């Protein structure tokens, strides 16, 4: 991922320095396990020497790989130089025990699993922080009236806090998915070529995995099955879709014709090079755009599941790009969403104005039910409600200052005979829609991240 969309903590996880540091730890642990097992010939003193002297530099590994065209061999060659540097002349080199009985995937896949757990932990922290923000702001706007919209059209009244509440629940589901994906991904394999433990005891695998916080794969072939990685990537993709959904709503709320809320506009910020009045939802748009990258990368992970027989490396290059980019982009998206939602500018007066913008049409469902309650058939009641509503719609569409929906009903002989003024007062109270909203917020109170 380019630096523009990389936050430092996540970026460090996917740097070569971190990857090779994990490789080093796995190789050292494997040596210690062999020494503990006491079968291969390595002594505990040699394992301690390897622990004390193992080292590498990324630059040296890169230079060696130019010759070997094999990153694992380049790494072990580099590390061997440091391990053996101070060994007395004529003594057997301790580095000979490094990578003993292992294959490249034992090292690479186990390390990748550990990197994934590191990255998932950052995403989980991101989710918790944003979820808690959404929950807090939901209660902040619990009593703030706004119009609900379906298909982009005014529907019925709701409160603005319910928007934040729905986002909080969506983030909680994202948290559950990521926790499940982490458990599936936290798996290591040190089982040798094609996974038969032909030259390495399963004790080594158990020893290394336990100390890395991983579970041994019960049957790994030569690689960890890529359905594990696909589950991680699809969890990231769904999470990105959730952030996209929230950002999309911020964009819609910020439209000049709506302007009920907008992302923060900081001091000195410029909205347009040509139109100085503009305050564009650029951050929300950026989140929506980056979500496309994360979602697309999930397809890469799904395609990586099918490998030839016990392994091939068709997945390797693709996942080196896709995994790092998806984690990095999603972490960046969370940072921007946290800034955006924590500081979201809201305009309750505009929400109130918009609530009445359709001149009372949003109360049509209450009118329908009230007419049915008087004994009129639903079909006949619908005709009464709709014929008056369509007249109001026509006035609105043509920018005519005509009667409100209530005034239309009062002038309609059939409607007026069934619904007296006091009943209309009750119907045209927006809070009448929200007598049970506390049940929703009671559930939200119990939500924990």
Statement: residue 229 has pLDDT above 80: yes
Tokens for 347, please give them: 């305009």
The pLDDT of residue 269 = 79
CB 388 within 8 A of CB 405: yes
Q: Angle at CA 335, nearest 5°, toward 334 and 340?
A: 90
The pLDDT of residue 288 = 97
Q: What is the mean pLDDT of residues 238-263?
A: 96
Known active-site residue 154:
no
Statement: residue 271 has pLDDT above 80: no
The pLDDT of residue 147 = 97
Banded model confidence at residue 268, pLDDT cuts 50, 70, 90: confident
Task: Give the separation between CA 360 and CA 424, rounded to whole angstroms.
Answer: 11
Task: Give the separation between CA 174 and CA 127, rounded to whole angstroms.
Answer: 7
CB 340 within 8 A of CB 271: no
Task: Give the separation between CA 104 and CA 109, rounded to whole angstroms.
Answer: 8
Sequence-ordered list of residues with C-beta below 8 angstroms from that of 122, at least 6 positions apart, any chain: 9, 10, 13, 327, 331
Over residues 273-331, the pLDDT tens digits come to 788 888 888 999 999 999 999 999 999 999 999 999 988 988 988 999 999 999 999 99
Helix or strand holding residue 29 (H, E): helix 16-37
Candidates 111, 106, 299, 259; CA nearest to 194 is: 106
CB 362 within 8 A of CB 156: yes
Over residues 36-90, the pLDDT tens digits come to 999 889 999 999 999 999 999 999 999 999 999 999 999 999 999 999 999 998 8
Over residues 198-222, the pLDDT tens digits come to 999 999 999 999 999 999 999 998 8
Look at the alpha carbons of 289, 293, 298, 303 in this order and tell me if their dihedral is positive or negative. Answer: positive
CB 44 within 8 A of CB 36: yes
* Mean per-residue pLDDT of the chain: 95
Catalytic residue among 198, 272, 314, 365: 272
Task: Give the separation between CA 232 and CA 165, rounded to whole angstroms.
Answer: 26
The pLDDT of residue 364 = 96
Q: What is the dihedral of CA 116, 118, 121, 123, to 10 degrees?
A: -60
Task: Kindly provide the residue ranges of all beta strands, DSSP E only, lying in 115-236, ordered along the sequence.
Answer: 145-150, 153-159, 187-188, 215-216
The pLDDT of residue 212 = 97
Task: Give the separation between CA 337 and CA 88, rounded to whole angstroms.
Answer: 58
């Amino acid at each position: 991922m380019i630096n523009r969309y990389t936050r430092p903590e996540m970026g460090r996880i996917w740097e070569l320095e971190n990857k090779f540091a994990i490789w080093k730890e796995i190789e050292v642990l494997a040596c210690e396990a062999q020494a503990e097992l006491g079968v291969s010939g390595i002594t505990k003193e040699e394992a301690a020497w390897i622990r004390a002297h193992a080292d590498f530099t990324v630059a040296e590994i890169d230079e060696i790989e130019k010759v070997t065209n094999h990153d694992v061999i380049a790494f072990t060659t580099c590390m061997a130089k440091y391990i053996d540097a101070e060994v007395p002349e004529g003594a057997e080199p301790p580095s000979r025990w490094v990578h003993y009985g292992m294959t490249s995937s034992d090292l690479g896949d186990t390390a990748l699993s550990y990197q994934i757990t590191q990255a998932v932990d950052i995403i989980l922290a991101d989710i918790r922080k944003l979820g808690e923000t959404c929950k807090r702001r939901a209660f902040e706007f619990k009593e703030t009236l706004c119009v609900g919209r379906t298909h982009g059209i005014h529907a019925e009244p709701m409160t603005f806090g319910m928007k934040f509440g729905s986002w909080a629940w969506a983030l909680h589901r994202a948290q559950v998915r990521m926790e499940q994906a982490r458990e599936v991904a936290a798996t290591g394999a040190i089982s040798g070529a094609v996974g038969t433990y032909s030259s390495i005891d399963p004790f080594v695998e158990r020893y290394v995995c336990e100390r890395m916080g991983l579970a041994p794969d019960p049957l790994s072939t030569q690689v960890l099955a890529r359905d594990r990685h696909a589950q991680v990537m699809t969890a990231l993709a769904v999470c990105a879709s959730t952030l996209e959904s929230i950002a999309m709503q911020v964009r819609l709320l910020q439209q000049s014709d709506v302007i009920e809320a907008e992302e923060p506009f900081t001091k000195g910020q410029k909205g347009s090079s040509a139109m100085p009045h503009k305050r564009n939802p650029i951050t929300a748009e950026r989140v929506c755009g980056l979500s496309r990258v994360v979602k697309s990368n999930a397809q890469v992970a799904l395609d990586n599941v099918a490998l030839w027989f016990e392994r091939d490396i068709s997945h390797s290059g693709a996942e080196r790009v896709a995994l790092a980019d998806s984690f990095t982009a999603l972490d960046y998206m969370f940072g921007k969403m946290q800034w955006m939602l924590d500081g979201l500018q809201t305009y309750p007066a505009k929400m109130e104005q918009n609530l009445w913008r359709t001149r009372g049409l949003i109360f049509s469902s209450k009118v329908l039910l009230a007419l049915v309650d008087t004994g009129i058939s639903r079909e006949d009641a619908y005709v009464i409600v709709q014929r008056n509503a369509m007249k109001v719609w026509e006035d609105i569409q043509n920018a005519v200052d005509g009667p409100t929906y209530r005034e239309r009903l009062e002038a309609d002989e059939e409607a007026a005979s069934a619904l007296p003024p006091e009943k209309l007062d009750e119907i045209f109270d927006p809070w009448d829609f929200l007598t049970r909203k506390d049940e929703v917020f009671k559930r939200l109170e119990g939500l924990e991240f």
